């Protein structure tokens, strides 16, 4: 699906790709991305929100063991699904960037069903202004943010790292080497500040909390102001 990415993404970013990292294996909560949440699966909640991002291309990057099950779901939401190494996740990103000629990657993970999208315009502007290699917004609810990373930064990380950890977690080499990369860490706009709220899915306790939220409230995909109001009310 091709969108008018210039609507929120400065032209300096080049071709922008949303890349959702997803797999079925999970040590603490196996199969968590296919658990039901608010009338959809956790994975679908991510896809519903991320497809609103006006990027040039939308991808689900998974491992070979998960591909057959995730590909039809991704396709249903107009995402391409591509499989790669189960442990070397960094290589999944660099391969996708080369294959699709992507210059800037919006990196998201499938354990964040309430991922924010309305903060991306501001985040992208800051990234371009600082000529960033890696960018995040600080102070967002835990589990709502995404990373913006240059493809060239990932290529350099893949070339230089000697640690399996960096390959498994994709971005650590960049943010642990500020002497090599331009890191853009800026506070999220005041209305999206909510670092005390946890809305990620890592454990059974997280799932129970998210289920309670989706049962009690009606979330509007893409309306992160509304999500913040819900979080303030739920945890006040």
Q: What is the mean pLDDT of residues 125-138?
A: 98
Q: Residue 2: is its pLDDT beyond 50?
A: no
Strands of 104-109's sheet in order across: 80-84, 57-63, 16-21, 104-109, 147-150, 134-138, 183-187
- Indicate the pTM of the whole model: 0.94
Q: What is the pLDDT of residue 28?
A: 81
Q: Residue 5: is its pLDDT beyond 50?
A: no
Confidence of residue 25 (pLDDT cuts 50, 70, 90): confident
> What is the per-residue pLDDT across 93-118, written as a single tens digit (0 to 9) for each?
999 999 999 999 999 999 999 999 99
- Supply φ then ψ for residue 59, to 5 degrees: -130, 145
Confidence of residue 199 (pLDDT cuts 50, 70, 90): very high
> What is the per-residue pLDDT across 56-84, written as a single tens digit (0 to 9) for each?
999 999 999 999 999 999 999 999 999 99
- Whether 7 and 54 have beta carbons less than 8 Å apart is answered as yes
Report domain extents, the chain. Answer: 5-234
Q: What is the pLDDT of residue 8?
A: 84
Confidence of residue 7 (pLDDT cuts 50, 70, 90): low
d(CA 105, CA 16): 6
Mean pLDDT of the chain: 95
* Contacts of residue 131, Cβ cutoff 8 Å, sequence gap at least 6: 182
Q: What is the CA radius of gyration of the chain?
A: 17
CATH node for 5-234: 3.90.550.10
């Amino acid at each position: 699906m091709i969108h008018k990415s210039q609507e929120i993404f400065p032209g300096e970013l080049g071709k922008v790709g949303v890349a959702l990292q997803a797999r079925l294996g999970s040590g603490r909560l196996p199969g968590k991305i296919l658990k039901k949440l608010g009338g959809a699966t956790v994975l679908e909640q991510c896809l519903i929100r991320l497809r609103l991002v006006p990027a040039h291309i939308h991808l689900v990057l998974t491992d070979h063991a998960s591909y057959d099950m995730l590909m039809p779901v991704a396709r249903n939401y107009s995402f391409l699904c591509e499989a790669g190494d189960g442990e070397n996740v960094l290589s999944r990103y660099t391969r996708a960037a080369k294959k699709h000629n992507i210059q800037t990657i919006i990196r998201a993970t499938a354990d964040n069903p309430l991922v924010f999208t309305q903060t991306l315009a501001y985040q992208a502007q800051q990234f371009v202004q600082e000529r960033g290699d890696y960018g995040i917004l600080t102070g967002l609810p835990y589990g709502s943010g995404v990373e913006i990373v240059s493809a060239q930064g990932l290529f350099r990380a893949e070339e230089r790292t000697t640690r399996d950890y960096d390959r498994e977690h994709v971005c650590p080499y960049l943010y642990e080497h500020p002497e090599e990369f331009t890191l853009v860490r800026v506070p999220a706009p005041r209305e999206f500040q909510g670092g005390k709220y946890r809305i990620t899915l890592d454990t059974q306790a997280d799932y129970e909390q998210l289920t309670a939220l989706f049962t009690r409230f009606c979330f509007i995909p893409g309306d992160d102001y509304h999500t913040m109001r819900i979080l303030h009310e739920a945890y006040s």
